[in-house]
Structure 1
Amino acid sequence: MTSLDELPIRDDLRGKKPYGAPQDLVPVRLNVNENTHPIPEDVATDIVRSLARAVLGANRYPDREFTELRTALADYLGHGVTAENIWAANGSNEVLQHVLQAFGGPGRRVLGFPPTYSMHSIIAGGTGTTWVTGERGPDYVLTEADVVGAIRQTRPDVVFLCSPNNPTGTPLDIDVIAAAYDATDGIVLVDEAYAEFASGPSALTLLEGRPRLLVSRTMSKAFAFAGIRLGYLAADPAVIDALRLVRLPYHLSALTQAAAVAALAHADEMLAMVDEIIVQRDRMIEALPALGYEPLPSAANFVLFGGVADPHALFTKLYAEGVLIRDVGIPGHLRVTAGTEAETSIFLDTLARLSGR
């Protein structure tokens, strides 16, 4: 059998590993920050009706400009955003890929601040964009000085900022975003995949007058739509035109568009789950110290906790008990998604038993 090393793969891809979060079907899966709450039955019924209508026209290509969806996303975001400011793709990862295809590429650099979302550097590698890094301060906080200093040192073409940050849950002050924008002539993209779980102002409030600022979102988390694959961003219409240059024709299927439009029509009901998830997140933050662990403050739907003597060993023990969380590679730390009340109870009870508490 031929090995990967024997193929004429690009030299810059040799030795790299693909994204590989476990997908094991254990009873409690709290490892990839999904919304573990089911979609409400009445919303699901409406989505199925919308899909049925879309199937009747599936012999034709979908709306290449996904006009109805862009309008629905703009209405949902508010902040003066219109359909002309919206781009969407098959998950926010594809949105980020389009951004680097248009504004990155060979000979260009994208700046990130690890530990951060692992796909940022993977997408950079896949598009031939050089990944350069800046440093975070204590407790993974980013300050204006951190960001501006890194921009001046690395002179990137694109800056990726994650707010709240994944995997740490750290919020990002919008003054830091504004300072980053003023410090570069390049693109500044703020990844707000977990924005609905945060209490601070969104980077959307900074869009006006900043044509190089992009704010990406996803329906995978707060909307419980991870399996549908719908990510999007808001930006100046000129940026949207640039992304059209690199997208594949008809990249959003008619079924994806129909499902997302139907879900957005029930935004209030879908987002009702967010408050419950925040309750479970804060419950874990309050409970973990009594078990001997050190949770970080989180503005997302997950908690990173330290004080773990052997992360791999604890991960393995929890997995053997049917509880799957995430070893994100930060020494002494593990990350757990905030699930339902029942899932959170199982996680905490299992962790207490394994920790002898």
Structure 2
Amino acid sequence: MDLSDNTNLFGVPPAAERVLRESRPESLSRYPRGYAPDLRNVLASRLGVGAACVTTGCGSDDVLDSALRAFLEPGEVLAFQDPTFVMMPLFAKVNGLKTAPVPLRADFDVDPEALLATGAKVIYLCSPNNPTGTPLSRAAVEHVVEKAPGIVIIDEAYVEFSSAPDFMDLARTRQNVLVTRTFSKAYGLAGMRVGWGVGSLALIAEVEKARGPYKLTTLAESMAVAVLREDPMWVEVQVVEARRNREHLRAELMSMGLSPLPSEGNFLMVPMPDALGVAQRMRERDVNVRAFQGLTGVGDALRIGSGPWPMLEAALAALRESLR
């Protein structure tokens, strides 16, 4: 049982299943359309922007990687909150960039002045943050956006699970903001690899140049469009259940003497000594969770995804046994 990657554990959206059943085998031998026009148009219509202000990619991490290549040259600096999405330092490395990790404050909000002091041409923010689950404050994000010397990327992969306001309005109104989202979490399409981003016309044009064509298969684009059009209630039901079970899991963990961090994602981060050893013992009991070592401001911790309650009950049982 895998609770390590924060994907949707409640099943597949009905519309995606329908598209899969009805897909034509001959489409497999043809290239998809280069820039996913149907998905871009549907997203643009929902957001009240032009289709040229929307980009898509092979997961939102592809959009993030494309943005780094679009706006940074090798040797330039990428700044980001620390800890955050583990792929950002990796993307920086493969693109020949320098990194400027800036520790989160004690309340897990970003430190705007410290981020700005890096002088980075691209600043990456993540809200709700992965792996902590904590949201960023409106005041801090707006301060970074207002004063940043270049582009600000706001990763909202987990925004559907959050009760905090999102930052999509900044992508619509500011010239230097790119907001990215994904179909891999709330929408249950992780295996299809569909991500997207929104920004100004000029900003998205540069991301599209770095992106290149053919990033979404015909099947992936069709599924994403169908889920947006047909399954909003299915998504909402699963989101509500994931949040409810997340808080039930929090209560159980606290009854065990643990202190999970506040979370607005579909997961909890649980600081504990020897998290790596605990995770290994849980795997021996057929439960996979994500272990982190020495996270800035957190230390060792487990990240446990939320899903159907029977899964979380099994995870709790494995955790109790592994802590003995």
Q: Which residue of 2 aligns with 1:220?
A: 184
- Secondary structure of residue in 2 paired with 1:333: strand
| Distance (whole Å) between structure 2 residues aligned to residue 74 and residue 66 of structure 1 | 12
| Distance (whole Å) between structure 1 residues aligned to residue 221 and residue 172 of structure 2 | 27
Match of 1:277 among 229, 242, 253: 242
Specify whether residues 355 and 272 from structure 1 end up closer, same or farther in structure 2 by C-alpha distance, changes over 3 A only. Answer: same
| Distance (whole Å) between structure 1 residues aligned to residue 17 and residue 183 of structure 2 | 18
Per-residue CA deviation, residues 112-161 of structure 1 (Å, 9 max, x unaligned), is 1111100011111111121111121114232xxx122331x210010000
Specify whether residues 339 and 199 from structure 1 end up closer, same or farther in structure 2 by C-alpha distance, changes over 3 A only. Answer: same
Note if contact 2:119-2:149 (Cα within 8 Å) is conserved in structure 1. Answer: no
Per-residue CA deviation, residues 258-301 of structure 1 (Å, 9 max, x unaligned), is 22212222233233211110011111111111112111000001
Q: Which residue of 1 aligns with 2:11?
A: 38
Q: Which residue of 2 aligns with 1:47?
A: 19
1:64 maps onto 2:28 in alignment: no
Match of 1:137 among 105, 121, 135: 105
Gaps of 5+ in 1: 1-27
| Distance (whole Å) between structure 2 residues aligned to residue 59 and residue 227 of structure 1 | 20
- Secondary structure of residue in 2 paired with 1:160: strand
Per-residue CA deviation, residues 324-345 of structure 1 (Å, 9 max, x unaligned), is 1011223332111112111011
Q: Which residue of 1 aligns with 2:232?
A: 267
| Distance (whole Å) between structure 1 residues aligned to residue 64 and residue 171 of structure 2 | 18
Match of 2:2 among 29, 33, 45: 29
Note if contact 2:6-2:266 (Cα within 8 Å) is conserved in structure 1. Answer: yes
| Distance (whole Å) between structure 1 residues aligned to residue 320 and residue 147 of structure 2 | 47
Q: Pairwise mapping of residues 70-149 of structure 1 onto structure 2 (< 5 A)?
A: 70-76=40-46, 78=47, 80-142=48-110, 146-149=111-114
Match of 1:61, as an amino acid?
Y
| Distance (whole Å) between structure 1 residues aligned to residue 95 and residue 215 of structure 2 | 18
How far has the Cα of 1:60 moved from its partner?
Answer: 4.3
Q: Pairwise mapping of residues 133-282 of structure 1 onto structure 2 (< 5 A)?
A: 133-142=101-110, 146-151=111-116, 153-265=117-229, 266-282=231-247
| Distance (whole Å) between structure 1 residues aligned to residue 178 and residue 120 of structure 2 | 15
Question: More deviation in 328-337 or 216-225?
Answer: 328-337
Match of 2:43, as an amino acid?
L
1:287 maps onto 2:252 in alignment: yes
Q: TM-score, normalised by structure 1?
A: 0.85
Match of 1:94, as an amino acid?
D
- Secondary structure of residue in 2 paired with 1:255: helix
Note if contact 1:116-1:165 (Cα within 8 Å) is conserved in structure 2. Answer: yes
1:297 maps onto 2:262 in alignment: yes
Match of 2:242, as an amino acid?
I
| Distance (whole Å) between structure 2 residues aligned to residue 132 and residue 354 of structure 1 | 36
- Secondary structure of residue in 2 paired with 1:282: helix
| Distance (whole Å) between structure 1 residues aligned to residue 225 and residue 313 of structure 2 | 34
Note if contact 1:51-1:258 (Cα within 8 Å) is conserved in structure 2. Answer: no
Give structure 1 regions of 4+ aligned residues with deviation exceeding 3 angstroms. Answer: 55-61, 353-356
How far has the Cα of 1:49 moved from its partner?
Answer: 4.5
Q: Which residue of 1 aligns with 2:320?
A: 352
| Distance (whole Å) between structure 2 residues aligned to residue 172 and residue 50 of structure 1 | 42
CA RMSD of aligned residues (A): 1.7
How far has the Cα of 1:58 moved from its partner?
Answer: 4.8
Specify whether residues 177 and 90 from structure 1 end up closer, same or farther in structure 2 by C-alpha distance, changes over 3 A only. Answer: same
Match of 2:320, as an amino acid?
A
1:339 maps onto 2:307 in alignment: yes
Number of aligned residues:
319
Per-residue CA deviation, residues 58-81 of structure 1 (Å, 9 max, x unaligned), is 5543222321110122344x3x33
| Distance (whole Å) between structure 2 residues aligned to residue 96 and residue 128 of structure 1 | 15
| Distance (whole Å) between structure 2 residues aligned to residue 185 and residue 67 of structure 1 | 32
Q: Which residue of 2 aligns with 1:19?
A: none
How far has the Cα of 1:50 moved from its partner?
Answer: 5.3
| Distance (whole Å) between structure 2 residues aligned to residue 72 and residue 196 of structure 1 | 18
